Amino acid sequence: MNIPADSAVAQYFSTIRSALGGLEIFLGDRNSPLYRNSVVGEIVMPYLARLKASFACWENRIGFVQQFRVSRAESGFPVFQNVLELENDRQSAEKRLSAIPDADQLRTEMADFILRQKAFPSDLQTRMAERLYLEQIGKGDIFSPFVLPETIRVAVNPKTMRPYYVVCWGAFDGTATLPMVYMATIEDSTQSIVDMLVTKDGKLNPEVDIPLPVGGLLNPELASRFDDFALKNSAYSLTPATIATNLDKDFPTLHPKQLRRIVLGPFYSAGITENNERVNEILSKVRKPDNAWLLTWTVQEVFSKAERPAQKGFWSSTPAQEEFHIETDDLEAARMGVSAYEKHALVPHDAYQALYAAGETQGIFGAYKVHVISGNQVISEG
């Protein structure tokens, strides 16, 4: 099935491709706020690549499966069923490919059909589309419902003499239909790990070779349990404070010092999404459809302000416990269950001009840090 260039489906894929490409440009700019202030930009990039790969696969998939649903009134991202189907197809791709003739054979059969039948070979084209889809899905990582944790940094806190890890993982929330990236900074007081990784002068042991990134939590005794924890504690409905508290309670020797969640979305596309009527009305006036979009994301953070030391008694003992800071002076931060947060919006120059001309920039972007993209350049306000 060829997708008409002017169809709503084609427009959606065109705008989301433009938006994710723009976000990649923004995150890849070492002068961007996310690069200057933290490692957030660097960490999000691989997950963004996964998301782009998923959309490339979905675009190929509609060449033979005539159904693709988007959460038009909420996130603007594909509904969770699409994510599940992509994951299932990834796991069965090799077996299915073995049952489909190779691309050259299909092309020969299509040419022969056209010459003999004087008609378009729809069935053969569908098989070709399926083959291209299955080949694509096997080429790289996609944004699965859950992307397993990996350790990307290891260092030592000289004050506590403990090693600490930066661990990240991804999740596509099925209810909110939002892709999310998590990153946690965790100290480890497991004695065997401390003995192995920390020198007497509080440095990382140079004799231990750690080929980062490492799949899973660096502590092998806890890695499997940590994977299971992340899988069960990555829902959008859970606040970062709840997730960090659960982690602190479930692992006596792991001490979460900081947890960040990057929530991608909502995404707005003129004529497609219905998640903000005023935004969509203005975006629909943008001359070039590829520029009629707006992508938002939120960086949420919760950090520990203190650690209550472990108490060992004759009859009972309690492990060390983190005290997480919640910014109660900010109602939005309190509602999110975070110490701090940032809201970002990425918008093409044409769309920003349309919003500005309509006098809507303050009303729409009031709480957001706005990044305007033009070509391969991003200008951040403020």
Res 213 pLDDT > 60: yes
Q: What is the pLDDT of residues 133-151, one digit of tens each?
A: 888 887 778 999 999 999 9
* Alpha-carbon span 373 to 267, nearest angstrom: 15
* Alpha-carbon span 217 to 214, nearest angstrom: 7
In one-letter notation, the amino acid at residue 248 is D
Comparing C-alpha atoms, which of 8, 22, 21 is closest to residue 349? 22
Q: Where residue 1 falls among pLDDT bands split at 50, 70, 90?
A: very low
DSSP track, 282-329: HHTT-SSGGG-EEEEEEEEEEEEEEEEPPEE-SS-EE--EEEE---TT
Q: Where residue 10 falls among pLDDT bands split at 50, 70, 90?
A: confident
- Supply the pLDDT for residue 19: 95
Q: What is the pLDDT of residues 53-108, one digit of tens each?
A: 999 999 988 878 877 899 998 999 999 999 999 999 988 888 888 888 888 888 88
More confident: 362 or 30 = 362
Q: What is the pLDDT of residues 293-323, one digit of tens each?
A: 999 999 999 999 998 887 776 666 677 899 9
Q: Which residues contact 91 (CB under 8 A, 6 or more apart)?
A: none
* Alpha-carbon span 216 to 148, nearest angstrom: 7
**Within a 10 A sphere around the Cβ of 112, how many other Cβ atoms?**
12
Q: What is the pLDDT of residues 160-169, one digit of tens each?
A: 999 999 999 9
Q: Which residues contact 336 (CB under 8 A, 6 or more apart)?
A: 239, 240, 300
Res 4 pLDDT > 80: no
Q: Where residue 152 falls among pLDDT bands split at 50, 70, 90?
A: very high
Tokens coding 363: 């009303």
* Alpha-carbon span 309 to 134, nearest angstrom: 53
Region of residue 265 (left: phi > 0; alpha: psi -120 to 50; beta: else) = left
More confident: 95 or 7 = 95
Q: Which residues contact 29 (CB under 8 A, 6 or more apart)?
A: 35, 378
Cα 109 to chain centroid distance, Å, stands at 41
Res 248 pLDDT > 70: yes
CA distance to 44, 119, 194, 286, 378, per residue, from 357 (Å)? 33, 51, 59, 11, 20
The torsion angles phi and psi of 344, rounded to 5 degrees, stand at -120, 150
Tokens coding 204: 């990382």
Tokens coding 114: 């056209």
- In 51-201 the beta strands, taken as DSSP E runs, fall at 146-157, 162-173, 178-188
CA distance to 18, 23, 73, per residue, from 52 (Å)? 10, 11, 22
**SS3 assignment, position 251:** coil
Angle at CA 127, nearest 5°, toward 123 and 130? Answer: 140
Res 36 pLDDT > 60: no
More confident: 49 or 277 = 49
Tokens coding 382: 């403020």
pTM of this prediction?
Answer: 0.91
Res 35 pLDDT > 60: no
Comparing C-alpha atoms, which of 345, 350, 347, 372 is closest to residue 288? 350
Longest dimension (CA), the chain: 90
Q: What is the pLDDT of residues 179-207, one digit of tens each?
A: 999 999 999 999 999 999 999 999 999 99
Q: Where residue 177 falls among pLDDT bands split at 50, 70, 90?
A: very high
**SS3 assignment, position 262:** strand
Res 5 pLDDT > 50: no
**Mean pLDDT over the full length of the chain:** 89
Q: How many CA atoms lie within 13 A of 129 on its CB side?
A: 19
Mean pLDDT of 334-363: 92
**SS3 assignment, position 236:** coil
End-to-end Cα distance, the chain: 46
Res 110 pLDDT > 50: yes
